[in-house]
Structure 1
Amino acid sequence: MLTSCSKDEDPIPAVDVPLPTKTLKESSNGFFVGMAMNSNRLDMNSYTAIIEREFESMTSEWEMKMNIILPSKGNYNWSKADKIVNYCVSKGINIHGHALIWHSSTPDWLENYSGTDAQFEQEVKEYITAVVTRYKDKVSSWDVVNEGVADQNGELRNTVFRQRMGDDYMAKCFQWAREADSDCKLFYNDYNMTSNISKQNKVFELVADWKKRNIPIDGLGYQMHISYNFPSKEQIKAATDRAVDTGLLLHYSELDIRANPNKDIIQLTAERSTAQQLKYKEVVQIYNTIPTANKFGITVWGLKDNDSWLLPHHNNTNEWPLLYDANFKAKKAYTGFLEGLQ
């Protein structure tokens, strides 16, 4: 990682950015510009005004995951997922489903399942079938499996799903999702796809195997939790080109760009704000140049800085990774995203 320049030692407040006449969604070229959101914020006009003006796709940040929908065996709680889906349908906003299977959102009852492996597999099949069927014709795409590859050595992550269902569990999940909805787009989603080559290699090995066996996968999700100074433009472009070469759709699925990864500033300086703007522009430009056949969308992982998951995750309140500041004002980052769409 690069260290900060000396100018950053004297914080300068970032300036407000005037809104352009053309919005993000109006400026996109053949792909969705999306936003991650939680259902409680859909009651707040300060959020919905921006969502409806700027974005044309929505991903549920937390509330369409298994521990929320199926907290105990047989007891489905659809309330929060329904709220998001119904809002989007009423506003004509695309919905990307996230995520059917993720090790970190496995409910306790399934993580500690006392039945046989065959019974465990049946529980997973029934869950995927129930969720995808409920939102058929409303949710146009799903992250079927999220983060199934480990960070080290390019191995499968040793989740309870792998332990109980075997190394081929992901292929089964894709097949069950396709059986429940023949039309929705099915994605594999993971992080560090532009910088961790061993993980990248394993994901592309899986994709090649699935395609060879006619396992139904339509796209790859690159989460894109990155920083203003890492990974490099060359790394991002190389990883993007590799996805394009598969013929699959590509989704930059959880984009945020940390402005303070080394915790070396206490205020978003003008210099760091500009660096973040340039990184947003760079990322969007790279995506914007891929063939239309591979384009799906870019989803920003949250609306305003102080809502970001990154602040608690890195125990750092001095972080500003998104397009809007705490007062719902567009930042230079917004301008960078817009510039990348041109």
Structure 2
Amino acid sequence: MKVPQLLLAAVLASALLLQAAPAQAHQPDGKHPPGQSKQDTLRRAAPKDFKIGSAVAGGGHHESQDYPDPFTFDKEYRKLLGAEFSSVSPENQAKWEFIHPEPGVYRFAEMDAIVRFAQKNKQAVRGHTLFWHSQNPQWLEQGNFSDDELRAILKDHIQTVVGRYAGKIQQWDVANEIFNDDGTLRTADNIWIRELGPDIIADAFRWAHEADPSAKLFFNDFGVEDINAKSNAYLELIPRLQAQGVPVDGFAVQGHLSTRYGFPSNLQANLQRFDDLGLETAVTEMDVRMDVAAGTEPTAAQLEKQADYYQRALEACLAVDGCRSFTIWGFTDKYSWVPVFFAGEGEATVMDENFTRKPAYYAVRDTLRSAARR
């Protein structure tokens, strides 16, 4: 049974306060059980000025699963999250329906805990997300607000959330998934654009910058890894906004890939296009799902193909000067969102359900090591 959100927030708040080379060449070294060695980690392998990150499991689909909140209650998960990564991003804990469940009511306990955890472990934090068509609360979507009321609600939300973590968030995904695949704006299902028009996008960035001038402000989207109509739309929009003085700092590709499809071979060239505009770039939600029937394991060939995709994506980012952040969307299959949303697909992360490192883990680690030596 699903616990009401506000009651669950109180329970979790109490709990949280109590816790203070080719892909085929990447093979386990067998020296240490997963997470045991402090030296043998992704963050230790990475170049000093490069952030290797993970989403922090919680909220969203996790609330309907048969396990307690992973970040709060899974000690091994938290240990690995702190040891392996130099950056963390809330998976769902800063999305509208979670952090702003009722009018005028904010649920900050989980996001506060993530920020404290990051500070304790000397990690950066990516904020996700302020302006989106999905995972909005019913009170917002069905509120029948006037344009002025809706605009005031959005401004209050952005400035309240960003302002609370001012100086503690390195990058914010301000506007998330605002274009359709054909490069047209989402006007049907994005309440902000539909009701207030496209100029509200610029306002969202301005409000976020006012609340925290030190945070880097990003557009973030899926399906923009390659050069296509969708990424072209961002390439056209961002310079227009910047010409108006809108504080846009970066462009991020999510990187939700599948071995059903070919690797986006123009990823590096695409990131470079945005780097050429003077923008920072990032890969923000990387995972590589595979076709795996329930009750079966991926084949060695599938695991190597997955590792190859992870390696090539990371190499593309590392090859672009302004791409200084690579975040995987959860590091263990135990808590991955993929099987919940993609029937017949899964095993998308770099560790299995028992936190055992997969070939993809070693591909990422060795690629980071190679970059650090250069």
Give the TM-score normalised by the residue count of structure 2.
Answer: 0.81
Distance 2:194 2:339 in 1: 32
- In structure 1, the partner of 2:350 is 323
- In structure 1, the partner of 2:289 is 258
Distance 2:269 2:263 in 1: 10
- In structure 1, the partner of 2:207 is 176
- In structure 2, the partner of 1:59 is 89
- In structure 2, the partner of 1:309 is 337
- Cα deviation for residue 228 of structure 1 reads 3.4
Distance 2:225 2:253 in 1: 8
- In structure 1, the partner of 2:153 is 123
Choose 35-44 or 117-126, whichever is displaced more: 35-44
Distance 1:95 1:113 in 2: 32
- In structure 1, the partner of 2:111 is 81
RMSD: 2.1
Which structure exhibits the higher relative contact order, with contacts defined as CA atoms closer than 8 Å and separated by 6 or more residues?
Answer: 1
- In structure 1, the partner of 2:314 is 284
SS at match of 1:226: strand
Distance 1:28 1:16 in 2: 18
- Cα deviation for residue 198 of structure 1 reads 1.1
Q: Does the C-alpha gap of structure 1 residues 233 and 69 become closer, same or farther in structure 2, counting only changes over 3 Å?
A: closer
| Aligned mate of 1:336, from 363, 370, 373 | 363
Number of equivalences: 323
| Aligned mate of 2:46, from 17, 28, 37 | 28
| Aligned mate of 2:186, from 154, 157, 160 | 157
- Cα deviation for residue 233 of structure 1 reads 5.2
- Cα deviation for residue 17 of structure 1 reads 6.0
After superposition, give the CA deviation of every residue in 1:58-90 in whole Å (9 maximum; x if it has no partner).
000001111111111111121221121222222
The answer on 1:212 being equivalent to 2:230 is no
Gaps of 5+ in 1: 1-14
Choose 325-334 or 227-236, whichever is displaced more: 227-236
Identity within the alignment, %? 29
| Aligned mate of 2:198, from 163, 167, 184 | 167
| Aligned mate of 2:177, from 124, 133, 147 | 147
- Cα deviation for residue 301 of structure 1 reads 0.3
Distance 1:116 1:26 in 2: 51
- In structure 1, the partner of 2:220 is 189
Distance 2:242 2:283 in 1: 21
Gaps of 5+ in 2: 1-26, 59-68
What residue identity is the alignment partner of 1:324?
A: M
What residue identity is the alignment partner of 2:265?
A: E
What residue identity is the alignment partner of 2:132?
A: W
Is the CA contact (8 Å cut-off) linking 2:28 and 2:362 kept in structure 1? Answer: no
The answer on 1:239 being equivalent to 2:270 is yes
Distance 1:123 1:100 in 2: 12
SS at match of 1:100: strand
Give the TM-score normalised by the residue count of structure 1.
Answer: 0.89
Choose 41-50 or 52-61, whichever is displaced more: 41-50
After superposition, give the CA deviation of every residue in 1:275-334 in whole Å (9 maximum; x if it has no partner).
11122111111111211xx13300000121132111111122x52111101110111010
Where does structure 1 differ by over 6 angstroms across 4 or more consecutive aligned residues?
none
What residue identity is the alignment partner of 2:57?
A: N
- In structure 1, the partner of 2:255 is 224
What residue identity is the alignment partner of 1:175?
A: R
What residue identity is the alignment partner of 1:199?
A: K
Is the CA contact (8 Å cut-off) linking 2:45 and 2:366 kept in structure 1? Answer: no
What residue identity is the alignment partner of 2:183?
A: G
What residue identity is the alignment partner of 1:181?
A: D
Distance 2:102 2:171 in 1: 25
What residue identity is the alignment partner of 1:155?
A: T
After superposition, give the CA deviation of every residue in 1:161-181 in whole Å (9 maximum; x if it has no partner).
012211111111000000111
Q: Does the C-alpha gap of structure 1 residues 222 and 41 become closer, same or farther in structure 2, counting only changes over 3 Å?
A: same
Distance 1:229 1:256 in 2: 13
After superposition, give the CA deviation of every residue in 1:248-293 in whole Å (9 maximum; x if it has no partner).
11110000012328x69942111111111122111111111211xx
After superposition, give the CA deviation of every residue in 1:181-236 in whole Å (9 maximum; x if it has no partner).
11111111000102471111111111111111121011111000012364435222
Distance 1:165 1:192 in 2: 25
What residue identity is the alignment partner of 1:38?
A: A
